[in-house]
Structure 1
Amino acid sequence: MNDPIKVTLPDGSVREVPRGTTPFAIAHSISPRLADAVVVARIRTAAGNTTDGAEEQTDDAHRGAQTEESMYAEAASAERIVDLAEPLNEDVHLWLLKEQDPESLRVVRHSAAHVMATAITELYPDVKLGHGPATDSGFFYDILREKPFTPEDLAAIEIKMAEVVARNEPFRHEYISHEEALTGYEQQGDFMKMHFISKFTKPGDNVSFYRNGEFVDFCRGPHVPSTGRVKAFKVMSIAGAYWLGDEKNPQLQRIYGTAFYTQKELDAHFKHLEEIKARDHRVLGKQLDLFSIQELAGSGLIFWHPKGAIIRKTMEDWMREECLRRGYDLVVTPHVMRRELWKISGHEGFYGDNMYAPMELDDAEYRLKPMNCPGHILIYKNSPKSYRDLPVRYAELGNVYRYERSGTMHGLLRVRGFTQDDAHIFCTPQQIEDEVVACVEFAEEVLHKFGFTEFKVELSTWDKNDAKSYVGAPEDWELAVNGLKTALGRKGIPYKEIPGEAAFYGPKIDVKLVDVLGRLWQLSTVQFDFNLPKRFELEYTGEDGEKHQPVMVHRALFGSVERFFGVLIEHYAGAFPLWLAPIQIGLVPISEKHTEYAKKVKAELEAIGLRVELDARNEQMKAKIRELALQKIPFVLIMGDKESEASAVSVRTRGKGDEGSVPLADFIARCKTLLADKSATL
C-alpha cells in the first residue's frame, strides 16, 4: 500500500511520488509559481473509477433543456477533473490546468455557485437548496422559499458573496455515509437533497459533500482551492423553475449568476450580452413587423405577418427547389392521424409526453402529429418497391405540433406548432453511407447559403446502460453508429460523440451553426433509423427476387422554419441580405414632380423580381429616408431632377451610407448579381 505511484505529465516525463500525493503538491514541486497559477487538475486513470455522489454540471450547448434529475446523472470516465487537493492513489496521467484552460472556468463557476448558495443561506436561513450547476455562460442555484426574491435581495446576495470571497474559506471534500446523509436532510425537511441522494447513491455508499466555512452541500465537485479564487462575479437575474421540471411540483426560484477570472472579462461578457439583447429576435420581430404570438390564440403559436411571411416563402421556395435538384420528391401529409399509427411507430410510448392528448372522432382516436416520418412511411408502403426504385427520397415542409410546457417557450426558438423541413430517405444498406454523406453536404450548403460560415458537428449515440429508452438490438445500434462515423470520416469532418443523446429509434448527426456572436445553435440533424422500417414491415424486392427491408434516414436541415428564422433575425440583427429582405429597395422621390420617374424605376426593379416600396407621401425627404432606414432595407434610392434626366438613381446602401448617383442600368446589374449569388453582403 505504501508503494509509490507513477504520475505522467503532459511532456511525457514520469514522476514517482508517494501514494496520496495531491496535484497541488506536484505543481509546487515543479514550480511555486505554477502552484499559484493552477486552478484544477485533470487526471486519466486506467480504471476509470469515479467518486460517489452527484455530478453537478450541465452543458446547455450540447443538451439543450434538461430536467433537474438529468443534470445529476453520474457517468464513469477514465478521464476526469479533480480538485488540487485530491489524493492520487494510483498511476495517473496528470494535467495541471490554469486559467487559459476551458475546463477551469467551469470549475470556477461551479465554485461561484457554492459561494452564492453560502450567501443565500446566511441571509435567508429558512431556504432549501435544489441544485447549483455551472453552465456554459455562468451558473445558477434553485431555491425553495415561500417569499419571492426581489431585485434588492439579489443586490444583497452579491454583497454577501463578496464577504464570503474575502473570507477565503477552503473548499473541503468530505464524505458522509448514505444513511447519515439521508437522516440529516430528512430532519431538515429537505426533500430535494433526499431525492438526489436516494436516486444517485445507494445504501453503503460514502456520499460526497463539499464544505466551505459553515456551508455544506451534497456535491461531487470539483472546486477551486478556496472561495478567494472566485474573484469577478455578478448575480444577474431570477426566474421560476418547477422541481424536476414538472409543473405539478413546487415552483422553485432559480437565481442566475456568472463568474470570470477578471473584471475585464466580466465587463466584456456584459458588453456581449448587450449585443445579444440588441439582436433579440422577439424585439426585432415586433419592430420590423415580422411575426407575433397572440395571447388569445395561445402560447407557442406563431402568426407570420406579411413581411415575415415573404421571408418564409423565400426560404421555403429555395429549400423545395434545392430538394428537387437533389433528387427528392415533394409530399404532403395530414396534420392529424389515428392514434394506432403512433402506437406502431413507437411515438405513443417513447414520445407520448411531448404529444397533444388524443381526440375522439367518430371512427377512432386521433393525435396531432409531432413528426412527419410515419406519414412518409405510409406513402412508401402504398406501392411495391424494387431495388431499382431505391433510394426513395420524400421531402415535406410539414406542420407538426409538440406539447411544450408553459415555462419553456421562447419566441420563435421554442414553440408548440412549427414547420419542419423534413425528409426521409428509404434505401438499401449498401446505399446508406452515400445518402448520409449527401445529407451532410446538403446541410453545409444550407448554412453557407444563409450566411453561416462556421459549424460544429456532434454524433449522438445511445446509452447502453439505459436500453429501455431505445428500440432495437445492440448490433443494430452498433451498425448504425459505425455507419454515421464512416460517413463523417469520408467528409473529413471532426465531430464530438455525445453518448445518451440519440433519438429513441437511432443515432444522429447534429450540425450546429455558429452565429456572428459566436453562439452555437442546434438546427440541422441527420438520423439513422433501422427501427421504423421494421415496425412498419417495409419491403423492397431485391436483385435476387427476394423481399428485403430498407433502412431509413431522417433529415431536417432548417430544423424548423420558425427556429431557423429566429436565428437568422439574430444573426443579421434584422438586416437581412438582399435576397431575403422583405422589402429590398426603398424609393424616395425628392418632390411630387419626381414621382412619375420613381414609378418607372419601381416597375423596372420589380421586373427582375425585386420587392420595392415607393414612398410618394408629401413628407420631408429626410424623414422618409429615416423611416425606410429603420426598416433595415438594403438599398434606398433617391430621385431628383439630375437622376430623372440621366436615368440614374442616388444610392444609399445600408451600413455604408450615400454612394452617390449611378446609372439605373448599373444598379439593376448589381442587384441581379447579388440575387444570383445570394450574397450576404451588399
Structure 2
Amino acid sequence: MAQIAIQLPDGSKREYPAGVTSMEIAQSIGEGLARQTVAAKVDGELVDVQKEIVKDAQVELVTLSSDEGLEVYRHTAAHVMAQAVKDLFGKEVQVTIGPAVKDGFYYDFYCENHTFTPEDFERIEARMKEVIKENLPIIRSEMSSDEAIALFKEMGEDFKVELIEDLGADTVSLYRQGDFVDLCRGPHLPSTGKLKAFKLTSVAGAYWRGDEKREMLQRIYATAFPDKKQLKAHLERLEEARKRDHRKLGRELDLFSFSEEAGAGLVIWHPKGAMLRTVIEDFERREHLRRGYDIVQGPQILRTDLWKTSGHYENYRENMYFTEVDEQGFGIKPMNCLAHMLIYKSKMRSYRDLPQRYFELGTVHRHEKSGVLHGLTRVRGFTQDDAHILCAPEQLDAEIKGVLSFVQDVMGIFGFEFEMELSTRPEKSIGSDEDWDRATNALLGALKDTGLPYDINEGDGAFYGPKIDIKLKDALDRYWQCATIQCDFTLPERFDLNYVGADGEKHRPVMVHRVILGSIERFIGILIEHFSGNFPLWISPVQAVVINVTDSQLEYTQKVTDQLRNAGVRVQSDVRNEKLGFKIREAQMQKIPYMLVIGDKEMEQGTVTPRFRNGDNLEPMTPEQFCEFVQEESTKYH
C-alpha cells in the first residue's frame, strides 16, 4: 500500500498508509490524545476525524481543549437537540439552523402549533440522553443540490430547501445520525456517544434570517461541555449573570424603564438612573477638559446632502432615520463627526492651532432591528462620549497614544481589565489604498510602541478607516466592546478640511474618531452587572439615606439631610412610620452605600451612626465628619 507523509505542527513527519484518518493518526501518537481529538485541520481545512487523507499533508489535530474543538463538540450537540425535538414533535416542527456560539449553541425551529417553554426542556433533554446513549455514528455524505432539495422537500423541511437554493452550489454536504438528517458543512464528532454534559438554558424568538418580514422562529439556547464539572461551573456563572442582569436590577433599583408607548429601544431614565448618568457624564467632562479637549454640541439632524458627502448615505443609511423639513431631506444623526468637521471648517486653521480636540456627549439614533434590542446594551437612541481630533499627520502618533493612555486611566478608575484588537479595512469602505495603509500603520505603530498586547481583527474596521477596539472584562469574565479609536484620512478629504502649514501652503489634517466609554447607556448596563448594582460610593446615585428611629427625631433627621445635601452628598431621608429593621433592609435592597441611623442618643450628641450596606457599622460621627468621609472616599477615584 502506498505511503504518505504527514507533517505535524511541531515540524515532525510521520509516514502512514494512504487513506489514513486523523483519528488513526491521533491513536498512533497516544490513546489520551485520541480521546480528546474531535476534528483535524488537513492543509488548513477543518475536517471530520473520519475523513481519509490520501496524499502528503500537514495535519493539526483539534482537541476539546481548543476553541475550535469545543465548537465542533457544541455543534454536534445542536444536531442532537434538533433530533430530539424532531423525535418528540415530528412534522409539526421544521428545523432551520443550529450553530455553536460563545459558551454554547442554539437551534432555531419553526412550529406554528406549539410554543416551546422551559417545561419542555426536561422532555427534550431526556430524549437527547437517549440519543447519546445509543451512540449513533455521525456520517457525512455529499449529494447534488437537486437531490438534496428533493430530499428535504419530501421531509417537509422548507427552510432547508431555501438554504440549498440560495447556496447555488452543485453539491452540498449532509450529516446523518440514525434517522435524523441535516444540511451542514461540519465537521462533527464521530458519534453521538461522545457528548458528555449539556443543558438547555432558555428559549426566545428570532426572525428567519434576521428579517422582521419573515417567519418568527423559536430559538432554544443550550450549552455543552466535555465534563459535568465544567458544565456545573458554567451554569453557576449563568445563574450569577441572571441575578446581575441589568434589566432586572434596573427595575428593582428604579433606574430606568422602557415603554411600548414610547417605542422599542428608547430608554426612559428615572430620577436615580438620571443621577447615575449625570455623575458619569460630569466625570467625563472633567477628564476631557483636563486633557485639552473643547466641549462642543452639534444638531440632532443634518441635511441629507451632508450625509451623502460623508459616505454615510451610501454605506450606512440602513441604520439611519430620515425626515423632511420644508421639502428638504434631513438625516437624524447616527454619529457626531459631521458637525465636528463643520466646526473645524468654520474658519481657516493654522498648524499652530493643531491639534483641535472636540468632545461631545452626543445623543444619536440608529435603526436597530427589534430582534437585537437588549436592555441598555442595544438600544436605538443613546449618548456617546464622542470626540474627534483633527491634527497634522506628524501629530497623529502622539494623539493616538494620548487616547490609549486616556483609556487606561479611565478603565483603571472603574476597575476594568481590557483587551484590544486592531480592525482592518472592510469590504464595504471608502478611501484610497494609500490612505488606508497610512491609517492602519499609524494605529499599529502606536500599539507596538506602548507595548500593549493586541489581536488583529481582519476586515472589521469602520467604512472610513481602521480602528482599535477596546474590550473590557467584567466581574463574570465577559468581554464588552466599549472604547474605540478610529484613524481617518478619508473624511477630511471629502469635506476639504485644510490648515496652513509652516510653509504657508495648505495641508490636509487627519481625523481621529474616538470614544472612551462608548455608549453611556451600554456602559451603565455593564456597570450595573459588573457591580451587581452595588455601585462604588463615588458614582452611587444615592450615597446615603438618613433613617430616624422614632418620630421624636424627625426635626433632627431633616436637619442632617439638609446639611448633607448642601455639602454635595447625594442623600435621601426615610422618616416613614415603619420599624427601623424594615427601613434598613429596604435601604440594603436598594443597595444604598450608607444608612445613617438617628436615635435619641445621636440627636442629643449631634451625631449620626453610619451603617454600610453589608451590615458593618462605623463609629458615630458628626454630619460634618461624614461629609468629609464621603468626599475623601469619592476623590480616590478621580
Instruction: Place the TM-score, normalised by the shorter chain, in its bin.
Output: over 0.9
- Which of 157, 166, 173 matches 2:140? 173
Asked whether 1:562 is paired with 2:560, we answer: no
Number of matched pairs: 636
Deviation for aligned residue 1:17: 2.6
Relative to structure 1, is the Cα distance of residues 544 and 375 closer, same or farther in structure 2, using a 3 angstrom cutoff? same
- Are residues 1:625 and 2:623 paired? no
Query: Which residue of structure 2 aligns with residue 4 of structure 1?
Result: 4
Partner SS for 1:256? strand
Relative distance call for 1:198 and 1:439 in structure 2 (3 A) is farther
- CA offset digits 1:332-389 (Å, max 9, x no partner): 1111111111111111111111111x32221511121111111111111111112221
Is contact 2:39–2:189 with CA below 8 Å preserved after alignment?
no
Show the counterpart of 1:577: 536
Distance 1:272 1:260 in 2: 14
The separation in 1 between residues aligned to 2:512 and 2:239, in whole angstroms, is 41
Mapped contact 1:5–1:89 kept (Cα < 8 A): no
Instruction: Give 1:118's aligned residue.
Output: 83
Task: Show the counterpart of 2:233.
Answer: 268
Superposition deviation, residue 599 in structure 1:
4.1
Counterparts of 1:192-591 in structure 2, within 5 Å, are 192-200=159-167, 202-203=169-170, 206-356=171-321, 358-452=322-416, 454-463=417-426, 466=427, 469-591=428-550
Deviation, structure 1 residue 267: 2.8
Contact 2:96–2:159 at 8 Å: present in 1 too?
yes
Which letter maps to 1:193? K
Alignment partner of 1:130 is 2:84: no
Q: Report the residue type matching 2:425 in the other structure.
A: W
- The AA in structure 1 aligned to 2:436 is W
Q: How far is the alpha carbon of 1:191 from its aligned partner?
A: 5.0
User: How far apart in 1 are the matches of 2:16 and 2:395?
Assistant: 55
TM-aligned CA deviation for residue 9 of structure 1? 4.4
Q: Deviations over 1:438-485 (max 9, x none)?
A: 112212222222232x1111222124xx3xx11122332222222212
Shifted more, 24-33 versus 146-155: the winner is 146-155
Call closer, same or farther: CA 1:575–1:336 in 2, change over 3 Å: same
Distance 2:483 2:584 in 1: 39
CA distance in 2, matches of 1:93, 1:445: 46
Q: Does the 8 A contact of 2:94 with 2:109 survive in 1?
A: yes
Distance 1:2 1:178, change over 3 A: farther
Partner of 2:16: 17
Q: Which letter maps to 2:410?
A: V
Amino acid at match of 2:372: T
- 3-state DSSP class of the match of 1:393? strand
Partner in structure 2 of residue 61 of structure 1: none
Q: Is the 8 A contact 1:41 1:94 kept in 2?
A: no
Please give the per-residue CA displacement for 1:403-454, whole angstroms capped at 9, x wherever unaligned. 12222211111111111111111112222222122112212222222232x1
Deviations 1:40-84 (A, max 9, x none): 245373xx4x4xxxxxxxxxxxxxxxxxxxxxxxxxxxxxx4332
CA distance in 2, matches of 1:115, 1:361: 56
SS in 1 for 2:447: helix
Q: Give the drift of 1:276.
A: 1.2
Compute the displacement of 1:200 (Å): 4.5
Check whether the contact 2:210–2:371 (CA below 8 A) recurs between aligned residues. no
Contiguous gaps of at least 5 residues in structure 1: 51-80
1:255-305 alpha-carbon deviations (Å, 9 max, x no partner)? 222112223332332222221111121121111111111221111111111
Alpha-carbon spacing, 1:616–1:281, altered in 2? closer, same or farther (3 Å)? same
Could you tell me which amino acid in structure 2 is paired with residue 461 of structure 1? T
Superposed CA deviations along residues 118-175 of structure 1, whole A, max 9, x for unmatched, are 2223333424322110011211112233323333544432222122111111222322
Contact 1:130 1:143 in 2 (8 A): yes
> Could you report, residue by residue, the CA deviation over 1:387-412 in whole angstroms, capped at 9, with x for unpaired residues?
22121111101111111222221111
Aligned amino acid, residue 511 of structure 2 = M
CA 1:9–1:508 in 2, change beyond 3 Å: closer, same or farther? closer
AA paired with 1:165?
I
Structure 1 partner of 2:38: 40
Residue 288 of structure 2 aligns with an amino acid whose one-letter code is: C
CA 156–623 in structure 1, closer or farther in 2 if over 3 Å, else same:
closer
Residue identity in the other structure for 1:495: Y
Query: What is the alpha-carbon distance in structure 1 between the residues aligned to residue 439 and residue 19 of structure 2?
Result: 44
Deviations 1:523-560 (A, max 9, x none): 11111122211221211222222222212111112211
User: What secondary structure is seen at the aligned counterpart in 2 of 1:617?
Assistant: coil
* More displaced 10-residue stretch of structure 1: 374-383 or 663-672: 663-672
Kept in 2: contact 1:513–1:521 (CA 8 A): yes
3-state SS in 1 of match to 2:331: strand
SS in 2 for 1:594: helix
Change (3 A) 1:194 1:549: farther
* RMSD over equivalenced CA pairs, Å: 2.4
Equivalent residues of 2:608, 2:622 under 8 A apart: yes
Unaligned runs of 5+ in 2: none
Confirm or deny: 8 A CA contact 2:26 2:37 kept in the other structure: no
Distance 1:620 1:182, change over 3 A: closer
Using the aligned pairs only, state the percent identity. 48
Partner of 2:575: helix, strand, or coil? coil
Contact map agreement 1:578 1:678 (CA 8 A) in 2: no
CA gap of 1:527–1:198, structure 2 versus 1, over 3 A, is: farther
More off after superposition, 90-99 vs 454-463: 90-99
1:223–1:268 Cα change, 3 Å:
same
**In structure 1, how many angstroms separate the alpha carbons of the residues matched to 2:134 and 2:476?**
37
Change (3 A) 1:252 1:617: closer
Matched residue of 1:558: which SS? strand
Secondary structure of 1:430's partner? helix
TM-score normalised per structure 1: 0.88
Does the 8 Å contact 2:6/2:59 carry over to 1? Answer: no
Contact 1:335–1:399 under 8 Å retained in 2: yes
Tell me whether 1:670 sits opposite 2:636 in the alignment.
no
| Paired residues of 1:43 and 1:92 also in contact (CA < 8 A) | no
> Counterparts of 2:550 and 2:573 in 1: how far apart (Å)?
13
The ranges of structure 1 where at least 4 consecutive aligned residues each deviate by more than 6 angstroms after the TM superposition are: none
Give the CA deviation at 1:99. 3.6
Alpha-carbon distance in 1 for matches of 2:260, 2:320: 21
- Report the CA distance between 1:237 and its aligned residue: 2.7
Cα shift at 1:512: 1.0
Which deviates further from its counterpart, 666-675 or 125-134?
666-675
CA distance in 2, matches of 1:566, 1:617: 31
Query: Is residue 655 from structure 1 mapped to residue 637 from structure 2 by the alignment?
Result: no
Separation in structure 1 between the aligned mates of residue 317 and residue 158 of structure 2, nearest angstrom:
28
Letter in 2 for 1:7: Q
Instruction: Return the offset for 1:194.
Output: 4.2
**3-state SS, counterpart of residue 614 of structure 2:** coil
1:114 alignment partner AA: H
Q: 1:346 to 1:187 in 2, by over 3 A?
A: farther
Aligned to 1:148, what secondary structure does the other structure show?
coil
Which residue is equivalent to 1:159?
A: 126
Distance change >3 Å, CA 429–CA 86, structure 1 → 2: farther
